[in-house]
Chain A
Amino acid sequence: MRERVLEAHGLRKTYGSGATAVHALDGVDFALEAGEILVLLGPSGSGKSTLLNVVGGLDAPTAGTVRYRDHDLSQDDDEALTRYRREHVGFVFQFYNLVPSLTARENVQLVVDLVDDAMRPEEALGMVGLADRLDHFPSQLSGGEQQRVAIARAIAKRPDLLLCDEPTGALDGKTGRLVLEAIATVNRELGTTTALITHNAVIAAMGDRVVTMKDGGIASIVHNPTRADPAALDW
């Protein structure tokens, strides 16, 4: 069995209180294993994003513990969470969230400036197949290209965790496959532990494990004996 990089126990996240309280996470136990690709499946409102945000240090749980290696995240203040994100986590979102006033290279540079042992921006962009688009502004790139810049930005600092929230949600099938290939390449070449949210069941085939969520809890965990090549996926 692989090493558990991150472990969460009894995670609860409640929005509001009393009769109107919404339990986004309702006692979740969860782990990420070193080097795996984990796919989180589930309908909207099932708690996938909340789980990913808590794991990534963007949000604090209402109850429960999250441990990253020896470190207890659930006790951290804002400053410590910022440091955790800076040192260990890379994020990719559905709407790319590039800074529009910076070029592709400069968007990656944003992260490179923060850590010591980072890749050069050119190298990171090369890994996602954008070596020839270095000096383009986001408005000059297609949706798929913007998302790949976002991935390059997330992995340039060689993060321990790569967390992707619906990375292909706003893209068509062909472009989406290119993005997923980039994620798989990073996982293979850097060994980055990756969690990927999707509501597209086809994508689940590219993961080592598939966690299905429902109503704030985990409904099932499936181990794939082999990972599918993203290029072969079709939707």
Chain B
Amino acid sequence: MKALRRKLRRDLWRMRGQVITIILILASGLASYVCLAGAHRALTTSRDGYYARHGFPDVFVHLERAPQAVARALREIPGVAAVETRLVAPVSLRLPDRLRPPPGRAISVEPGGRAGGLVLRAGRFIEPGRDDEVLVLETFAHAAGLAPGDRLELVVSGQELRLRVAGLVLSPEWIFPAEIGAGDLSDFGVVWMSRDALAAATGKHGAFDDATFRLVPGADRRSVIEAIDRLLARWGGGGAYGRERQTSHRTVSGELEQLSVLATQVPAVFLLVAMFLLNVVLSRIVHLQREQLAVLRALGYTRRALALHVLGFASVIMVGGVVLGLALGRYLAGAIVGLYGQFFHFPVLEVALDRGLVGISVGVAVVAAGGGALTAAWRAIRLAPAEAMRPPSPARYRRGLLSRLGLARLAGPMGRMIVRDIERRPILTALSVTGVAFSVAIVILGRFSLDAVDHLMDVVFGRTMREDVAVMLARPVPARELGWFRHAPGVMAVEPMRTVPVRLRVEARSYDTAITAWPRAGRLRQVLDGRDRPVPLPADGVMLTALLGQRLGVGPGDLVMVERLEGAHDTFALPVTALVDDRIGMNAYMDLAALGRALGEEPQLSGVLLGVERGQRDRLLRALDRVPAVIAVIEPRSFREAFEAQSGQMMIVWTLIVVVFGSVIAVGVVFNTARVALSERSRDLATLRVLGYSRGEVATVLLGQLAVQVLLALPLGMVSGYLLASSLMATVDPEQFRFPILVSPVTYAFASLVVLGSAIATAIVVRVKLDRIDIVSALKARD
């Protein structure tokens, strides 16, 4: 057996190029699995543990105000295990070095502060009676440079409060801290303060305006939500909702869903390719070594020994792939979780290679390597010694379809050799083409979402929000207040805006959203349709996001019932005058005057859109800072810049990963196909050299065949990349985002270039090997 093992070792060394490329593909597959599934597990485990330990609520509701006594009635709703009532108010945080005060939320907390599932990260909780202390969300504090003991000024309901930071906290409700989708962590702040202090600022003593619920296991959530809504209707209840509509939870879950899809698709592609290559290469080895294997049989080696010999080849590749794959996967999982850690904030977030993950990886590797090796091993043991030692007969060729079509005649003898070889091995050719196509698809899959997001950003922040600055007010004010903004420094254009939280109802169907209104003639906001063309606001009635119309079962001409979720909670009917395929959210748009008529009030505004003179921004922001009614100042452009800076980093990491993975597959497939072709045809090629063909001419036969395969693979890869991308996109919640284009031409081109580049690099290596063929010895080889 020792000699046989030595033979295995030398065979492996002789074929090291092929062995290494297959190990790399297998390792990439396992690494992609370990890193994606590992990141998924790390995030899921962290989230679920976090939720469980710190009591993440099942149901949420916001209302106008209700006396504290109502809490008891809420607690008695069947299915409710615990209720926490609190005050939540929009705040504006004044930071010394920030011209534009970041918006945020102030949330009331009981002294000693376990409530709200807060996790103390630094400092201490608020002590009883300390109304001047505040807890700050750790991530915001870090971004804004706040530490325990620092002073913090904030504006709540038009009142300026001077507070001192007691501690930094994390909360399961704010894993992803954003309301409007902050581009930068320091753009949205969350603070917790004593109930008395917040009640004093908002004038809500002895009352609450927000509640969270935990349900008993097995409770019927729907009926609990209905009961809450019935009970809170007279207190201005804004509609209770479950976790799926809680911003942070929704964002985290959406991301996890995508990770889990990726964790299945990407590794599957790699492992299929690895299996295929192993099969091709091992079959070739068995074929080349027919004689040797036959001699071994003649010498008395058992079939079992020979099968193990062939499988030994596969097991070296398997072990190499597993070790490298696990190590690389573990490293990449850490990198990906690190990237997520910038957006999602958990008290503990670490990657562990658990036994399940390792077990699955090893199992998959065994299946991939074994699946690839089995037929080859089978062929090895079926060899009859005498038959294998007979001289070979020429490979069988016949005239295939392409030749009969006259294609071969056009192509000359070289072209004929290429065409006939493709025809003789259609399955092998198809598999090689598929393998290369997969590498195109992988690169597309890794990159397309960046294009889609980029396009979305452009549509939303470049073309929908065309103002330089949007100012949000703490509460609606009469339209005449607009005058102040008109005269504010640097302002060139002013347009009013109004948002009203509403519940839209059509028969039994309802949806909670907000009506956004501005003047029809306004130029600072525009709604874009599915082809990014502006759609004018209707003079009367409401224009709905098409998907919202679908959910409600209404179209143009139908009536929708509108219940205001603020103030008087009055209900009125509105005609739907248009549906529009906009990109983000489930929206209702109206002309500002039409909204005033529908509400039966003088036009009011809750926000102001401003066009600002170049160079006057800072002056304007300083002036706005002195207006207590201003709750938030948003700059679409800087939002986009912040987003791009952050996604840019993510983009570089992702692009690098997919380029490496895609190239590994492309190089692996092309190199192995070429090596096999080279070993099969070295005699043909040497013959051509003897007949007087030059090296370059001979190379066209082999490389031409590879080129045909790669060129066939490109369109196929684009199609499969598109399909993989669609299945990943299907996991995006369409109520949040509707991506217009799936894959941009740039991504198609990029993927093609990566694969072409890999193929050309490989072709150069093959060409060098081809040039080194020893004509004389190749001619004497019998097959």
Contact surface of A with B, Cβ cutoff 8 Å: 49, 53, 56, 58-59, 78-79, 82-83, 85-87, 89, 91, 93, 95, 97-102, 106, 109-111, 113-114, 137-139, 146, 153, 170
Contact = CB atoms under 8 A, between A and B. Distances in A.
A99 B397 CA distance: 10
Given A101-B417, A110-B413, A82 B694 contact: yes
Contacts of A137: 394, 396-398
Contacts of B691: 85-86, 91, 110-111, 114, 153
Interface in B390-442: 391, 393-398, 412-413, 416-417, 420-421, 424
B694 A79 contact: yes
A83 B778 CA distance: 20
Interface stretch (B82-90, B107-115, B682-690): B682-690
Contact of A113 (B412, B686, B689): B412
B391 A170 contact: yes
Contacts of A59: 776
Task: Give 8 closest A-B pairs by Cβ, nearest first.
Answer: A86-B692, A101-B420, A138-B394, A100-B394, A97-B687, A100-B395, A85-B692, A139-B396
Contacts of A86: 691-693
16 contacts: A58-B776, A82-B689, A83-B692, A86-B693, A87-B692, A100-B397, A101-B416, A109-B413, A111-B692, A113-B413, A114-B692, A114-B693, A137-B394, A139-B393, A139-B395, A146-B394
B181 to A, nearest CB: 61
A85 B413 contact: no
Nearest to B783: A95
Given A82-B694, A114-B692, A153-B691, A98 B417 contact: no
B775 interface: yes
Contacts of A56: 690
A130 B268 CA distance: 54
Contacts of A139: 393-397
Contacts of B417: 99, 101-102
A102 B420 contact: yes
A42 to B, nearest CB: 17
Given A95-B782, A100-B394, A101-B416, 4 more contacts: A56-B690, A97-B683, A106-B413, A137-B398
Nearest to B691: A111
Interface string B680-709: 000110111111111100000000000000
Which of B420, B686, B687 gathers the greatest number of chain A CB atoms within 10 Å?
A: B687
Contacts of A170: 391
A86 B417 CA distance: 20
B233 interface: no
B779 interface: yes
Size category of the binding interface on chain B? 20 to 34
A102 B413 contact: yes
A110 B695 CA distance: 15
Contacts of A93: 779
A101 B398 CA distance: 8
Nearest to B398: A137
Interface of B: 391, 393-398, 412-413, 416-417, 420-421, 424, 683-684, 686-695, 775-776, 779-780, 782
Given A58-B775, A95-B782, A106-B416, A101 B397 contact: yes
Contact of B394 (A53, A98, A106): A98
B776 A91 contact: no
Contacts of A98: 394, 687
B259 to A, nearest CB: 48
A211 to B, nearest CB: 20
Contacts of A153: 691
Which of A59, A93, A110 gathers the greatest number of chain B CB atoms within 10 Å?
A: A110
Given A87-B692, A139-B395, A146-B394, A99 B776 contact: no
A146 B391 CA distance: 14
Contacts of A110: 413, 688, 691, 693
A57 B31 CA distance: 52
B421 A101 contact: yes
Contacts of A58: 690, 775-776
A58 B694 CA distance: 12
Which of A78, A97, A101 gathers the greatest number of chain B CB atoms within 10 Å?
A: A101
A102 to B, nearest CB: 6
B694 A100 contact: no
Which of B424, B684, B686 gathers the greatest number of chain A CB atoms within 10 Å?
A: B684
A17 B549 CA distance: 87
Contacts of B420: 101-102
B394 A102 contact: no
A53 B777 CA distance: 11
Nearest to A109: B413
Nearest to A89: B692
Which of A49, A56, A137, A170 gathers the greatest number of chain B CB atoms within 10 Å?
A: A137
A200 to B, nearest CB: 18
A58 B393 CA distance: 25
Contacts of B695: 78, 82
Which of B420, B424, B689, B690 gathers the greatest number of chain A CB atoms within 10 Å?
A: B690
A22 B150 CA distance: 88
A106 B689 CA distance: 16
Nearest to B412: A113
A110 B414 CA distance: 8
Nearest to A91: B690
B341 to A, nearest CB: 58
Contacts of A83: 692
B38 to A, nearest CB: 48
Which of B417, B687, B692, B695 gathers the greatest number of chain A CB atoms within 10 Å?
A: B692
B185 to A, nearest CB: 64
B397 A82 contact: no
A75 B711 CA distance: 42
Which of A49, A86, A99 gathers the greatest number of chain B CB atoms within 10 Å?
A: A99
B418 to A, nearest CB: 9
A63 B672 CA distance: 39
Contacts of A111: 691-692
Contacts of A99: 417, 684, 687-688
B758 to A, nearest CB: 27
Contacts of B687: 97-99
